Amino acid sequence: MARSNLRSDTVTAFAPAERETLNDRVYRELKTSIMEGRFKPGAVLTLRTVSDALGTSMMPVRDAMRRLVSERALEVRPSRKIALPVLNAEQFLELRRIRMLLEGEAAARAAERITPRQLGACKALLTKFDGLGLDNPREFWTLNHKLHFTIYEAADSPQLVSIIEMLWLQIGPLLTRIAVTRAVQDAADPHALLVDALERRDGAAARAALEHDLTQSTERVMQELTRLDALRKD
């Protein structure tokens, strides 16, 4: 009887941790998918489709969506549907301006603090960029996300990285508007310059390369959003 009670107590003690771990995993996977541009602006997400895609029940998906709504990555429409927000040109420009400030600071700090292992990881990601075909947009944006956040984590500032993640949650869906052929041509050189600045531990050069990357890679998005805003006004 004592052994049975012990087993029962153990299961009870560990069950909440298992549920919390599952919720965190679902939240992380959905958040990463949004940051990597796997959903288009305005796309509607349902509990059923997301839970089926992740192979889990709807409960952790509901919790993840609730958290992402609070972080402004998702929005609840009047119809009660949950969808990705649609930004206008002014909102996007404001986000880009804030990203340059915060991500530029993260890059500069990373130049001072990056470890040999982290620098090696950045170089390995650059090599993958070089070997990537232009017909694989999902892989491109996955690598882009991994490279940027490998650099930001090297800044050794968890609070700063957390804020940057919230910004990426808002701009991630707009990555689908950037043609990969253009993104590869425009973003590869700034990435290489950024990693080179990190290796030389040149914070100013790292900040400049990051700002250059953000400006070039998002210029077409700005042009399209401006055009759409003009159409709405007509």
Do 184 and 140 meet the contact criterion of CB atoms below 8 Å apart? yes
pLDDT at residue 178 above 70? no
3-state secondary structure of 83: strand
Task: Note the pLDDT tens digit of each residue in 187-201.
Answer: 447 899 999 999 999
Record the pTM.
Answer: 0.81
Map 22-80 to HEC letters: HHHHHHHHHHHHHHCCCCCCCCEECHHHHHHHHCCCHHHHHHHHHHHHHCCCCEECCCC
Q: Go through the domains of the chain in sequence order and give each one's CATH number.
A: 2-83 (1.10.10.10), 89-233 (1.20.120.530)
Q: Which amino acid makes up residue 122? A: C
CA–CA separation, 221 and 88 (whole Å) = 10
pLDDT at residue 79 above 80? yes
Q: Of 184, 181, 186, 180, whose CA–CA distance to 219 is shortest?
A: 186
CB count, 10 Å around CB of 138? 12
pLDDT at residue 52 above 80? yes
- The separation between CA 215 and the C-alpha centre of its own chain, rounded to angstroms, equals 17
At 207, the pLDDT band (50, 70, 90 cuts) reads: very high
Task: Note the pLDDT tens digit of each residue in 82-122.
Answer: 999 988 888 888 999 999 999 999 999 999 999 999 999 99
Residue range 143-154: mean pLDDT, rounded: 96
Proportion of the chain above pLDDT 90, given as a percent: 56
CA–CA separation, 139 and 180 (whole Å) = 10
